[in-house]
Structure 1
Amino acid sequence: MIKLFTELKRVADRRRGVCLTRGNVMNVIQKTGKFYSRIIMKNIGIFVFIGLLSVVFQTEGWFPNEDIYAISQVAYRYVLPCMIAYEGGNLLSDSFGGLAAVMALCGILLRDPEAGIFGAMVSAPLGGYLWKKEREFLERDCFAETKMLFRNLLLGLTGAVLAVGEYYLLAEAVTVFAVAAGSCIGWILEHGYIAVLNVLIEPAKVFFLNNIMNHGILVPLGMSQAEQTGGSLLFLLETNPGPGLGMLLGLLLYKRKNVKRRQELATAAFTQAIGGIHEVYFPFVLADLGLLLPLIVGGVAGSIWFSVFHCETAGVISPGSVLTILIMAGRSSMLPVLGGILVSTAVSGVGSYLYLCWRGERKEVPQSEIPESEKQEELEKENTEMSGLERELETASEQEEKPMPENIYQNLHKIGFVCNGGMGSSAMGAALFRRALKTAGITGIQVGVYAADLIEEDIDLIVCQKEFYALNPQLHEKVCHVIAGFTDREEYTKLIQCIQDAQNGGTR
């Protein structure tokens, strides 16, 4: 699958002159996924609010109370869809675009309140994009004295037209889609095929698509299912920290004699289990893609356990830490959910350790004992052109060795830590770096966190992980300090040393 992805990318790169290429299609899919992921992540607090009320006050909760539980249902049916629509419209244009999206959503909510989240995902881009075009008209052709009047009239008219149009034209289609998606998920659960999804989920996570996979796909479907049954297994699929934790523990056991590596892996394992930040283990897998197999097997084992023991959580899990999962699991599912996490951890850990031992032994086999056919295959592989992913990773390595622009470290005012969503691993790295700056006594440098496609123009220096840099060509045009991992404190020590040398008149 990885080879197929990279080959498709290579073909697309060779056909840049063609209007519609596979690369363009992949780019559109990725941007769409990021759009929906971002508007969902902006409202994670409301998802957690609904989940907590459900866990505590539903019929099988800790303190059953129908009246308080009803608050969560109001939030699910009306407040959450409106907020998702608003964030989407605001993201595409401005706050007025968000209002247009909310007004448009009213048509779908009237027809079917149960399909509110799916309706919001339609209304958000529709209202936001339409208002963006209308705003351009207002700014270009409307007099300043009458701009406010025409803006309000046009906004009200746009909302009314969209609401009526969605009521008659889109509401039925959204309802059919919601029912079909629910039926499909029900069929998968009923026939025990839920574990097959991990074959897609684990590789997608490693290539920094975890937020898109979870918040863009699984969360909306899970919320729809939770509304009907009180909980959903879908919330556990991507957020399960077991596969990544097991892989890190397997690496830790294999590298136990390497003190520096052991400390780094122990930090990453703790961050994965307690902090719930999955991105910390992605670089280890990208450095050796063979580790994808035990990750997938561990995820499948956990999902099978969750399915057999009917595990579920009442609401969205964010971040995906063991503590958060147990809180959202509630009284009835707490122990079974913990068992599934432990099973996936054990399977992934044992598989990773066995794979590393096999790979190590393979490297130590004398050349005389390797069959000639295998020698020839390895030689041909070395002589063939590198795959797209390998080439990009090599480019990232070369970028690390290039000298930075003159005086870049001397005139630093704003540093941006960048990851896919701008809320997970980069936030952790930024926090560690702020602490390191404070310890070193360096002031006057602002440290922020950004998604890869939302980097501000006034950023002096970008800090990102090596593999993430390789997979995001738009970063190659910016001034980047590429590091091995956000949990590696030595990387921050080196960066601070560069800053101190520059401020003291030294050279890098």
Structure 2
Amino acid sequence: MSTPTAAPKSSARIHVQKFGTFLSGMIMPNIPALIAWGILTMFFIPKGFTPNEAVATVVGPMIHYLLPIIIAYTGGHMVYGLRGAVVASIGVMGAIAGSDYLIAQENARLLEAWLATGKAEADFSELGQVHMFIGAMVMAPLSAYSMRWLDKLWENKIKAGLEMLVNMFSAGIWGFVLLIIGFYPIAWLVNGLMSILSSAVNWLVANNLLPLTSIIIEPAKVLFLNNAINHGVLTPLGLAQAGDAAYNNRSILFLLEANPGPGLGLLLAFALVGIGAAKASAPGAAFIQFVGGIHEVYFPYALMKPALILALIGGGMTGVTTNMLLGGALRAPAAPGSILAVLAQTAPGAYFAVILSVVLSATVTFLIAAAILRASRKTDLAAEAAGEDRFASAVSQTEANKGKSSDALSGLLAGGGAAHSGPIKSIVFACDAGMGSSAMGASVLRKKIQAAGFGDVTVVNKAIASLDDAFDVVVSHEDLIARATQRTPSAVHVAVDNFMSSPRYDEVVDMVRRTNSEAAAEAPAPEAPAPVPAATAAPEAAPTAGAVPAAVAVADHADEASDSVLKLSSIVLDGTAGDKDGAIKEAGDLLVASGNVDAGYVDSMYEREKSVSTYMGNLLAIPHGTNEAKSMILSSSISVVRYPNGIDWNGNPVKFVIGIAGAGNDHLELLGKIAEVFLDESKIAELEAATDAQQIKDAFGKVNG
């Protein structure tokens, strides 16, 4: 099997992943409340260890009111701070009451029909409550986003002294509207959805088909798509069953995704019959996964050889079948998916079934995975001998799938022997074209490296197509990490998703500090950061591209460069675009109008954005063309468009869009200065307050280091 290539991300997968991440963000912070509720049921309900009728009265209100409200509060806060949290809580209260009203109406109708048949009222069984977990996950974003939109309508239009009055009444009135929306359409919608989902699950159980869910859940976990399934469907349904005496206040659904057995079996197979870094790191990863509950550590092992997903499915189906046959179930969600959390939430009388399901699922996964690894061992050894590092590529791909960095995943490389050995001397920031994102990212990282006292470490930028395997560390966007790994298999690879303020930059600095500490201790501390040596700079980078100027002469040179690269006519203070595509066109049209690029260059800017986002962080986006579009650039040019009210850039706020067309190196020094400006909040505020184009140009051309 070849090293994974960087195919364009599926937009459907990205949307499902983002949706699942948002749901997880609402549920995970409230897991302590779910654990507390699980302990409450463990001891005090009639079937608990120490039944207590008085204390048990807390069980119903907690799951029916408290848990949905705090989930809505959390979701609203994620979107729009405290205002979003408050109106989301009001809205979900309406959904709870509306659901109770609908259930009461339906119970009255059913009772009337029951009595009409001559049956006794005492024999009638009422429908139970619907707990508004899904309602909370619907009302939270609906409430918070709508509140934020309304606030923007009268932003900066309120007379001084009336702000608090308007803010309080607007939130209160809109909260009332949301309560009514929750009471009627949302309650009706969620009750209907829960009825459909419950019927589907009951049908699967009745027909002994529940194990088939592993065919969906196990691959979804490896691709980080499981959150949408787990938190969007399984957790709400499981909590509904756990709060219902008809299900003995427990649910098997909590074990469909959280069972740590399949992951343990896969890692044990690598520990015994794997090769290279994967074999070396598997024992430690098994402990982290099984005891720590961090399942993502086994995902790279599955991605190395996708056939291993069959082993995970087999183990998952075995665990579900065991629990179905023997009555294994939990009282509440087990999060994280640790064996300790699973045992803590295991329902009374179900310990044998749950433990056996974990053991059997691990065993089945181990046997299938070991057979697959043995069958391909000769091919894998040959690939390793040829210098192919599939494990490092799989770890990088896993981080790209996750959409952000992970200490647990990074630790796999360090623990498996793939970390860099010896001092780090050269770092390259790689992107698709090598003219914009990488130049600014390299500038930010270079400044941090030099500030840490490692002036002898070069930080340059290059296009991925121009990379060679001569660099110690390669930093690239998470969507490009697999391609960069192919070009530089011996380097340490770091994926970022925020070019201006990524926390991964500090991790790189720490890595340099650790690996270079011995050499740094022997050498005298420099009085000032040394400039980047010109002889080691990448072809795409100027001798001091993006470096902080050390003398006035350097600053003066930047002013001269900016005169030709950034013209006053290419600066717009009030952009008219309302979305990302419009902003790209507006910035691109300015580049065309400057006479520095052909009209077709704007289309290449759209193509670039489709493959990798040019959002930089700190209110900045820098759209630019693809590497193939460099032939359309007559000379380097930069345009600046400010959007005072901001625009949405893939879910991120952007107020400054800087279009870039880089033919040579003459734009790189200015980009370095722009990066320095956007690292300073006070300087960003000055740009926001600027009243003419000259002020913007001066801010970029006269940055003092």
Q: Residue in 1 aligned with 2:122?
A: none
Q: Per-residue displacement from partner, 1:38-79 (whole Å, max 9, x unpaired)?
A: 111121111111112112222222212233233232111001
Q: Residue in 2 aligned with 1:496?
A: 514
| 1:111 equivalent in alignment to 2:98 | yes
Shift of residue 346 of structure 1? Answer: 0.4
Q: Per-residue displacement from partner, 1:83-102 (whole Å, max 9, x unpaired)?
A: 11111111111211111111
Stretches of structure 2 that go unaligned for 5 or more consecutive residues are: 101-129, 383-389, 416-443, 450-472, 483-493, 527-531, 537-705
Mapped to 1, the partners of 2:16 and 2:264 lie a distance apart of 29
Mapped to 1, the partners of 2:178 and 2:498 lie a distance apart of 41
| 1:176 equivalent in alignment to 2:178 | no
Q: Residue in 2 aligned with 1:475?
A: 497
Shift of residue 500 of structure 1? Answer: 6.2
Shift of residue 468 of structure 1? Answer: 8.9
Mapped to 2, the partners of 1:394 and 1:238 lie a distance apart of 22
Q: Per-residue displacement from partner, 1:173-227 (whole Å, max 9, x unpaired)?
A: 2211112211211111121111111111111111233444423332122112222
Mapped to 2, the partners of 1:76 and 1:67 lie a distance apart of 16
| 1:279 equivalent in alignment to 2:300 | no
Q: Residue in 2 aligned with 1:406?
A: none
| 1:335 equivalent in alignment to 2:339 | no
Mapped to 1, the partners of 2:224 and 2:512 lie a distance apart of 26
Mapped to 1, the partners of 2:34 and 2:311 lie a distance apart of 31
Mapped to 2, the partners of 1:44 and 1:187 lie a distance apart of 29
Mapped to 1, the partners of 2:233 and 2:298 lie a distance apart of 22
2:153 to 137, 152, 168: 137
Amino acid at match of 2:54: D
Q: How does 1:448-467 map to 2 (within 5 A)?
A: none
Q: Residue in 1 aligned with 2:219?
A: 203
Q: Residue in 1 aligned with 2:264?
A: 245
2:23 to 36, 52, 61: 36
| 1:101 equivalent in alignment to 2:88 | yes
Mapped to 1, the partners of 2:91 and 2:318 lie a distance apart of 43
Mapped to 2, the partners of 1:469 and 1:502 lie a distance apart of 32
1:70 to 42, 54, 57: 57
Mapped to 2, the partners of 1:261 and 1:395 lie a distance apart of 10
| 1:264 equivalent in alignment to 2:286 | no
Alpha-carbon distance change, 474 to 265 in structure 1, aligned in 2, over 3 angstroms: closer
SS in 2 for 1:311: coil
1:326 to 343, 364, 376: 343
The answer to whether the 8 Å contact 2:13/2:225 transfers is: no
Mapped to 2, the partners of 1:237 and 1:423 lie a distance apart of 26
Q: Residue in 2 aligned with 1:233?
A: 252
Mapped to 1, the partners of 2:147 and 2:330 lie a distance apart of 38
Stretches of structure 1 that go unaligned for 5 or more consecutive residues are: 14-22, 366-389, 398-416, 434-457, 487-491
Shifted more, 243-252 versus 354-363: the winner is 354-363
Mapped to 2, the partners of 1:133 and 1:123 lie a distance apart of 15
Shift of residue 396 of structure 1? Answer: 5.6
Amino acid at match of 1:243: P
Q: Residue in 2 aligned with 1:292?
A: 309
Shift of residue 134 of structure 1? Answer: 1.9
SS in 1 for 2:47: coil
Amino acid at match of 1:496: R
The answer to whether the 8 Å contact 2:476/2:496 transfers is: no
Provide the aligned C-alpha RMSD in A. Answer: 4.2
Mapped to 1, the partners of 2:156 and 2:271 lie a distance apart of 61
Q: Work out the number of aligned pairs and report it.
A: 416
Alpha-carbon distance change, 157 to 500 in structure 1, aligned in 2, over 3 angstroms: farther
| 1:146 equivalent in alignment to 2:162 | yes
Shift of residue 160 of structure 1? Answer: 0.9
Q: Which has the higher contact order (CA 8 A, sep 6+)?
A: 1
Shift of residue 420 of structure 1? Answer: 4.2
| 1:185 equivalent in alignment to 2:201 | yes
Shift of residue 338 of structure 1? Answer: 0.1
Q: How does 1:154-173 map to 2 (within 5 A)?
A: 154-173=170-189
Shift of residue 319 of structure 1? Answer: 1.3
Output the TM-score relative to the length of structure 1: 0.71
Amino acid at match of 1:296: I
- Tell me which structure has the larger Cα radius of gyration: 2
Amino acid at match of 1:180: I
Q: Residue in 1 aligned with 2:45?
A: 58
Shift of residue 139 of structure 1? Answer: 2.6
Mapped to 1, the partners of 2:324 and 2:263 lie a distance apart of 20
Amino acid at match of 1:317: A
Q: Per-residue displacement from partner, 1:22-45 (whole Å, max 9, x unpaired)?
A: x44443333222211111112111
Shift of residue 494 of structure 1? Answer: 7.5
Output the TM-score relative to the length of structure 2: 0.52
Q: Residue in 1 aligned with 2:111?
A: none
Q: How does 1:75-90 map to 2 (within 5 A)?
A: 75-90=62-77
Alpha-carbon distance change, 467 to 160 in structure 1, aligned in 2, over 3 angstroms: closer
1:49 to 29, 33, 36: 36
SS in 1 for 2:175: helix
Mapped to 2, the partners of 1:252 and 1:149 lie a distance apart of 64
The answer to whether the 8 Å contact 1:466/1:482 transfers is: no
1:27 to 8, 14, 36: 14
| 1:121 equivalent in alignment to 2:143 | no
Q: Percent identity between the aligned chains?
A: 29
Mapped to 1, the partners of 2:274 and 2:55 lie a distance apart of 51
The answer to whether the 8 Å contact 1:469/1:482 transfers is: no
Shifted more, 309-318 versus 202-211: the winner is 202-211
Alpha-carbon distance change, 185 to 131 in structure 1, aligned in 2, over 3 angstroms: same
Mapped to 1, the partners of 2:34 and 2:403 lie a distance apart of 18
Mapped to 1, the partners of 2:85 and 2:264 lie a distance apart of 39
Alpha-carbon distance change, 251 to 427 in structure 1, aligned in 2, over 3 angstroms: closer
